[in-house]
Amino acid sequence: MPSNLKQCFLVFVLLLAGCATGTSEVTFEQHVEQGMERTGAQGLAIAIIRGGAVAQVRTWGKRNARGEPLTPETVMYGASLTKAVFAYTVMQLVEEGKLDLDTSIAAYLPKALPEYADEARKYAAWQHLQGDERWRKLTPRILLTHSAGFSNFGFLEPDGKLRFHFDPGARYAYSGDGMILLQFVIERGLGLDLGKEMQRRVFDRFGMRRTGMTWRPDFATDLADGWKADGSVEPHDERSRTRAAGSMDTTIADFARFAAAYVRGDGLQPASRAELTRPQLPILSLSQFPSLRPVAQPEHRHRDLAAGLGVISFEGPLGRGFQKGGHNDSTGNTWVCLERQQDCVVILSNDVRAEPLFPGIVRLVLGETGMPWSWEYGANSWAKP
């Protein structure tokens, strides 16, 4: 075993032995088990990446109400972790000259975006932008940095209509519709099938055998249902359409392979890989959600927090890091990495009640990263620094 891998292994052993510094004196194992008991969380999966290699993959708890165990091969909902994988795919298209990050999406579409009036079911109601030429200012970079000016989803607007709330590129405001618009450009403008592209460029490349952008019958052999905040069970959704904003199903073992490849930069030129996590646009809101929160006063902003492409970038005591979360009513996911060290923690849970455990788990494994959890999870008291 190379000396650097030996050192990584020893570090991990020390963490499991409870020798890591931090606010808690319990071991890693105890933190997880006691935390699950305290929160009522039913299932949790964790992967640790050290020096760009998968060091550990572990699971706790169960995958469904029948009590069947959660395993490293259990298919779980990836939720918005999908966006990071999507951005990785987009950068490959950029390298091949099929897309340019700073070219207007108008250059790729055969007709004006609002003229696509029959796409609402598969994508979004672009016709609602009729009369607002600001759509021509949208670029792949703007869409990947959540600065389109849209709300998260147009159908959540009071009148159900997609609209601009500010000029494209002006500031960060989380938008799933922004990601879906870039998917639309790739599929309608470039003539590519995004699901097939992600399968070929990412899932097949990194041996992610039980990962896909849409439902596959073989997933059912080892599949996670979810638990909501009230303890009720939500069956796994068999998603039939590729959605760049969040249709990916994956396993902790599969996503660990992707996370390791991502920090190593596999499949991309160094400059392209660096562009993904480079601070692209300062984030000035107090918290990420609701997505159209106003710009905070300077004293309340999170220092050195910025949008990357499909992830957020932050600076902390251990240098630059990046993060992406994923969440719905019965899913809680997070992925946190330290750039220079190529160390990461991936956490997937099929129980949204597990989210309060995430900061402590990341701290025990990586140390004090500086990840602004209160920004990620908003006003939740457990997320405050």
pLDDT of 5 reads 38
Averaged in consecutive runs of 10 residues, what is the pLDDT profile of the chain (385 residues)?
40 37 63 96 98 98 98 98 98 98 98 94 96 98 98 96 98 98 98 98 98 98 98 97 98 98 98 98 95 92 96 98 98 98 98 97 97 87 54
- Establish if 17 belongs to a structural domain: no
- Establish if 95 belongs to a structural domain: yes
pLDDT of 378 reads 82
Distance between CA atoms of residues 227 and 83, nearest Å: 23
> Can you give the pTM of this predicted structure?
0.92
- Establish if 62 belongs to a structural domain: no
- Residue 115 gets which letter from DSSP? G
| Residue 234's CATH number | 3.40.710.10
Q: Which domain holds residue 118?
A: 24-41+72-345+356-377
- Establish if 109 belongs to a structural domain: yes
- Establish if 209 belongs to a structural domain: yes
Cβ-proximal residues to 299 (8 Å cutoff; 6+ apart), any chain: none
Q: pLDDT tens digit string along 262-300?
A: 999 999 999 999 999 999 999 999 999 999 999 999 998
- Establish if 142 belongs to a structural domain: yes
- Establish if 133 belongs to a structural domain: yes
Number of structural domains found in the chain: 1
pLDDT of 381 reads 52
Q: What are 357's two structure tokens?
A: 């455990």
pLDDT of 26 reads 67
Alpha-carbon Rg for the chain, nearest whole angstrom, is 20
pLDDT of 380 reads 59
Residue-wise burial string across 278-300, b where 16 or more C-beta atoms lie within 10 A, e elsewhere: bbbbebbbbbbeebebeeeeeee
- Establish if 370 belongs to a structural domain: yes
φ and ψ at 203, to 5 degrees? -65, -50
DSSP reduced 3-state for 194: helix
